[in-house]
Each structure stands twice: as C-alpha cells, then as structure tokens.
Structure 1
Amino acid sequence: MHEFFRFLHAIQKNTFTFVSREMDLLRQHIKPGEVYRRSDLEYYSTAIDRHLATLTKDGTLIKLNQGLYYAPKQSKFGVVPPDDRQVVERFLKDEDFLLVSPNTFNSLGLGLTQLYNTTWVYNHKRKGEFQLNGKTFEFKLKSSFPKIITREYLLVDLLNNIEDLAEDQSQTLDKLPNNIDSFNADALMKATQLYGNGKTKRKLKSIVRYVFQHA
C-alpha cells in the first residue's frame, strides 16, 4: 500500500512539473503589447484553455473577444490599449486590409459633421459587423484599396458611401465644385479610376468638367 502511494505521489509530482514547464514555455512566447489568437498559443500547451484561464486570472493576458487575447503593456499612465490594426490583423489572420473611420470625412472641408461609432475594414476575406476589444468594426469586402489613405482617396470613398451616411447628400455635393481645387487633380483622377464606383466616377467627371468650363 505504501509503495502504491509513493508511486501515485511520483506521478502527481511529475505531472505538476510537466504542467509548470508548459506554463513557463507559454509565458516565454507572450510579449507585452501583442495580440494573440487562441490558436497562436495552443502550440505551446497541451491544456491551452486551462492555461489561458490562469494567465487571464493573473493578468498576463486580457481576454478580448472573438478568440483574441491581449498581453497588456504598461506605461507610466497605466495599461496601453491594444492597437486597432493589430487586433484586426489577428482577427483576420491577414495583413492586407485598410481601416477607414467615416469620421475622417469631416476633415475634407465639405461641411460634414456627423460622428460615427464604427470603423470600416476593407478587406478580401470577411464581411459583417464584429465587436473587437469593445469597438465596432464593419468588415467590407473590396476588390482593391490603397495601402494608405490620401485626401483624394478619402473623397472618392466618401462619394462611394454617401448614400449610407447620415448627411445631407445634396448639400455636400453642392459644396464640392467650390472645393475641388483643394485636391490634387492627378491624384484624384487616379484614385477615382482605381477605387471609384460607377456613380462616383460619373459625379467627379461631371464636377471636374463643370469647374474647367467655368474657370
């Protein structure tokens, strides 16, 4: 009987040692400021759900949602929130996307003032609205989009989406001819051809022709 208990104790000790080593290995692969999918971390653990629960409880990880976890990074002001782009990248498992806030349309000088609590994600893989890190992201499938946002692209994107915005369309379009010269003409035409839908192309061609004729 004593031999049995010694044997059982040895097994428990070895199991505890193995689990501790796994946890240490998992911690080594968690870097502050990084966002992880559950699937990113399960390579280092045979009991990933138990380990994630432990790491979340002790503050090593913060559970976001959609299977995402954030390793908090500290600053002198407290915890640095996860970067939106990094959160979306891990969710999509893809780096090819563009984040667009419809609030940035207000910077074009066309009288737009509405504020929106969502960010659009132009991408090639997913469609729909998702809550990520307490924020609303609307994923939109697009065949093409630029790497960076310019004022010219922003104008094209505004016109592409103007019917879905809580703005007075006619008022916005009426102001555009008087402000069209604030945009780079070549860059605007290029952005229109690459990213504009049919209506946007027709609107901008009409406006540019009108401005040239009345210059």
Structure 2
Amino acid sequence: MNFTKIFLCLPTRYTTFTALKGKAIMTKLNELKKHLKRGKVYRRTELTKWSKSVDRHLEMLLEDGTLQKLSQGLYYYPKESAFGAIPPEEEALVRSFLKDDRFLLTSLNLYNSLGVGTTQLYNIRTVYNHKRNGEFQLGGQKFSFHVKHHFPKKLTLEFLLVDLVNNLQKLAEDQEEVLKNVSSKVQTMDTKKLEDSVLEYGNAKAKKILLPLMNRKEQLKHAS
C-alpha cells in the first residue's frame, strides 16, 4: 500500500470537504437572509425559525453588516437611504423588546407642548407597559420602562397634563410655578375629558391637585 500517496491526497480531500461545508453554511445563510425585511427589529428567538445554527449565522450577519446589534438578543436590519442606514423606529424597537403591542411611548419633553412653563429637554424616553420596569439602552437610545395598569392607547392632551402632575418631582423647573400654569391650563380644557383622564390615570397627588381645580372651574362657570 502506498501510504505516501494516501497521505498526499488527504490535504486535497480535507480542502474539498471544508469548501463544501463552507458552501453549505453560505447557502443556509442566504436562505435566512431571504426572510429578513429592512427596517425590522428581530429577537434572536425569532431567527431560530429560519436557522438551526442561529448563533453562527448571527455572527456572520453582524460581521458582513447585514444586521446591527441593538442590545442583548435584539437585532436590526437597517433601511438604507442616500445618507446611510436609517435608525430603527422607536415603536418597532420597543415592541420587539417587550414582545408586546400594549405600551405607550412618551417623553417628559412632550410636556413642553402644553404651554405650562416647562422647557427642559431630556434624553430618555418613557415607556408605559404591562411587563417591564427599569432603564434600558436599546440601539443607542435610553428608555425608562414603567409597569402601569392603565394608560391610553394614544397620547392625548388630557393625559399629558395628568402625566405631568404625576411626574412633577422629576421636572427641572420650579414646581410651584409649573402648578400655577397648570391651574390656568385647566381653565381652557374640556372638563369632562380631563376629569376622565384624572380619574383613570392620575395618582393620588394628581387627583388631589387637579380635581379641585376642575370643580372650581365648574363653580365659576355656573356662577357667571
């Protein structure tokens, strides 16, 4: 038996085997890519539907720039524009993180639209939800998650005012001055809608402050 000949053939066979294995991996990777949609955020667990070697494929997708890692177990397939990759939409980011559609995305910055004297800007978004508490960094953005039993599906002017009073201690502005402006703001708002929001979403402090203001408004209305 010519052992030298067999030995010389081994590298060629090994190279062929490695090439075939590499080709199979790339084929599976390309099959996985076909399922990905630009602009969508994916959890690692979602990708297991299309890959039996998800960790290896994730490593390759991150390396070739197909996916971006947003946080542990969370990935983004970016949309492209003439100016480069477009960041993920905040709602898509939060939805994938929570694995739930029931949340309200807001910010202390939105209080500035009420005209009650708040002007400070904050670099963190607030997420009311039914699952998670705590601060998390997702895709380079800071989110503060708060479990709350009741919150509206969409932001309203009334909810924002109630939410401001709920979070008065978090504001950088003078609280007494803000409350004076809140008192004036209440006079211009729909009493029924505001009352519903206070009763549904207000904490004890918000109810103590806002309900008397609305009662006073109604008393003045009937007295005139």
Identity %: 44
Q: Structure 1 stretches (4+) deviating beyond 4 angstroms? A: 6-11
Q: In the aligned structure 2, how far is the partner of 1:177 from the partner of 1:91?
A: 38
Q: How far apart are 1:152 and its partner, in Å?
A: 0.4
Number of residue pairs aligned between Structure 1 and Structure 2: 215
The 5 A counterparts of 1:75-86 are 75-86=81-92
> What TM-score, normalized by structure 1, do the two folds share?
0.91
Report which of the two structures shows the higher radius of gyration computed on alpha carbons.
2
**More divergent stretch after superposition (64-73 vs 84-93):** 64-73
> Could you say which residue in structure 1 is the equivalent of 2:48?
42
Contact 1:66 1:91 in 2 (8 A): no
**More divergent stretch after superposition (66-75 vs 95-104):** 66-75
- 2:83 corresponds to 1:73: no
The 5 A counterparts of 1:174-189 are 174-189=180-195
Q: 2:210 aligns with which of 194, 204, 210?
A: 204
Can you give the 5+ residue segments of structure 2 that lack an aligned partner in the other structure?
A: 1-5
Q: How far apart are 1:84 and its partner, in Å?
A: 0.7
CA RMSD of aligned residues (A): 2.0
Q: In the aligned structure 2, how far is the partner of 1:125 from the partner of 1:105?
A: 25
Q: 1:121 aligns with which of 116, 120, 127?
A: 127
The 5 A counterparts of 1:104-183 are 104-183=110-189
* 2:33 match: secondary structure: helix
Post-superposition CA distance 1:33-56 (Å, at most 9, x none):
111112211332232222212211
> What TM-score, normalized by structure 2, do the two folds share?
0.88
Letter in 2 for 1:200: A
* 1:99 match: secondary structure: strand
Letter in 2 for 1:41: L
Can you give the 5+ residue segments of structure 1 that lack an aligned partner in the other structure?
A: none
* 2:75 match: secondary structure: strand
* 1:45 match: secondary structure: coil
